[in-house]
A and B are shown apart, each in its own frame.
Chain A
Amino acid sequence: MMKKPLIIISIISLFLLTACGQKIPDIGDAGTNNITDDTAISGDTVSISESAYGDNPSQNSSKDGFKSIYFAFDNYGISSSMQSVISHNVNNASKSSSKIKLEGNCDEFGTDEYNYALGLKRAKAVKDSMALEGVDVGRTVIVSFGESNPVCSSPTDSCYEKNRRVDLYLIK
């Protein structure tokens, strides 16, 4: 009694295995008379120069009396050790009426949008801290540069720390 269903299942399975198999395409003799044709792949493409905003890129740290704020790995909270630097920057901001640019930066780990968002969070954290100490937020402009603006590139912890920062300067 057991043999009959086993035979049926075996036959069905064999059929399924055969049916599922992907055959090598057989095109027979079709195409023997293909004609030769020339194919040009797209036309010439342009090359353009993009202007660069701001100063020489080697000046990639704070200036105009401001000091950079540094952050822990994968973090945008302002540490207690950086509070005195925030106060210094607030005091420095009061000496001028110009707009202040805050640039958020990250270390080299990650090149994606998330890294740029992290740089933005760092810049916003500095902006909010300065606002708490009286700086008019209408004077600030924040931009994230992600990992595009390192101050050093050696594979050391001290170097990575220098890159996790917010730079400040006056917009003149």
Chain B
Amino acid sequence: MRILLLMLLSLNLFAIDARLKIETDVEHRSKISLVDGSDNANNKFFNLLLSDFKISGHFIADGVHHRGDISSNFISTEKSKEYVLKYALSDSSGSKLNIRLFKTSNGKEIFKKSYAIPRVSKTPFLAHRAVSDINNILKYSSISWINRYVIFARYTMPKRSEIVLADYTFSYQKSIISGGLSLFPKWADAKQQSFYYTSYADEIPSLNKLNIYTGSKSKIASSEGMIVCSDVKRDGSKLLVTMAPNAQSDIYEISSWGGSKKRVTSFGDIDVNGKYANSESDIVFVSNRMGYANIFKKSLNQSTISQVVYRGRNNNSVDAHGNKVVYSSRESHSSFGQNTFNIYLTSLNSSTTRPLTTTGSNLSPHFSNDGSIVQYIKHRGQNSSIGYINLNSKQSLLFPVNGKKIQSIDW
């Protein structure tokens, strides 16, 4: 009886612990105030900084656009915050950003840096780099993913699309490929120098690779029916490709130069969307082998296939990072209206599943390169938005990309 009572008390105490941790995590974000010392106040840039601080999950940024002299050490009006960021943006010859970070408890400057970039259109990257540096200087876990390029394909008209380079907020956008039908862009290397994409320039689709700095382009493979690069190994040496050389969509692992080809799945119906999982020894993928689209797992070297998801009747896209899995699930079956798709997070090691979205048409979830953020496409009619969910802090952001429907995205 005593032992039982002891166990119950212990359980109760740990239950309190879990509840408290959620509350204290919120408290442990740093409060920061922003003071704009630019000659001309720039609301767009201020909002970029706010977005960066918010999605980091490490800061609670004051939404008031303060103005002040960046060269002055005076910070008295922001003493309720732990840190004050003074910044000045100028775009007279290129774009230049100066920042100074103060600790309010002692009024001392703890970080100072200048950033410059020749093209004014790339100014958003200055905000991202500055917030990433401040995050690092305060010894929080890295948020370097905010500095990365996002690449996406969007439809422009029937059988026509363009592939566009952007920052994660879509404030910066530049068309990289236009003119034909180019789809499913996928970064080829960690440094984001080249990407793979599906080209419809010939009689049958081909998988091409383009260097975004030199413009050098090469054809990696082609296939009747369809060909899509679904994932690339972290070292860039191999990729998972959906091909249909026999009019049957299956997953293949091919070398980055297209030389070697290994068939990973050989189901007689639909296998698509292969993603490296665990230590890249396994893949997760979408298959209709149970009569509807669902998520499965397979070792690259063994034939055994296991079901990953046990809910939903149409789970049509997936991504993995280590043992974490995100997937989209269609939750309505309307042939004449907008269907509801939601994003779910699950694990290869447990059956725990957590919804990340609850309304709308949310598709194509992707993990950030560190696995801490999930990016997804939200469709509304012919328009799209890009959403981000910080899995640790639960912070979320949505950026509209008006006018054209996004086909696929990678970052």
What is the interface of chain A, defined by CB distance below 8 A to chain B? 1-2, 5-6, 9-10, 13, 16-17, 20-25, 27, 29-32, 34, 36-54, 57-58, 60, 72-74, 101, 108-121, 123-124, 127, 141-146, 148-151, 153, 155-157, 160, 171
Interface flags, B395-411, vs A, CB<8A=1, else 0: 00000000001111000
**Is B273's beta carbon under 8 Å from chain A?**
yes
The answer on a CB contact under 8 Å between A123 and B225 is yes
**Is B353's beta carbon under 8 Å from chain A?**
no
Q: How far is the CB of A30 from chain B (nearest CB, A)?
A: 7
Please count the residue pairs between chain A and chain B whose beta carbons lie under 8 angstroms apart in the complex. 251
**Is B33's beta carbon under 8 Å from chain A?**
no
A116 touches which of B5, B114, B155, B228 (Cβ 8 Å): B228
Answer whether A112 and B180 are a contact pair too, CB < 8 Å, given A57-B160, A153-B382: no
**B residues in contact with A123, CB < 8 Å:** 225, 247
A149 touches which of B129, B159, B214, B249 (Cβ 8 Å): B159
The answer on a CB contact under 8 Å between A57 and B157 is yes
Q: Can you offer 12 A-B residue contacts whose CB atoms are under 8 A? A: A2-B5, A13-B16, A20-B17, A25-B140, A27-B139, A38-B116, A39-B115, A41-B117, A109-B339, A114-B293, A141-B204, A143-B204
**B residues in contact with A45, CB < 8 Å:** 165, 174, 176, 212-213
The answer on a CB contact under 8 Å between B203 and A24 is no
Which of A1, A36, A47 has the most chain B CB within a 10 Å cutoff?
A: A47
The answer on a CB contact under 8 Å between B225 and A148 is no
Answer whether A48 and B157 are a contact pair too, CB < 8 Å, given A27-B110, A120-B225, A156-B336: no
Interface flags, B1-31, vs A, CB<8A=1, else 0: 0100110011001101100110011001010
Q: How far is the CB of A155 from chain B (nearest CB, A)?
A: 7
The answer on a CB contact under 8 Å between B30 and A112 is no
**Is B145's beta carbon under 8 Å from chain A?**
no
A72-B314 Cα distance, complex, nearest whole Å = 16
**A residues in contact with B184, CB < 8 Å:** 113
Stretch at the interface among B38-46, B194-202, B297-305: B194-202
Interface flags, B195-228, vs A, CB<8A=1, else 0: 0000111111100001111110100000011101
**Is B179's beta carbon under 8 Å from chain A?**
yes
A13-B158 Cα distance, complex, nearest whole Å = 63
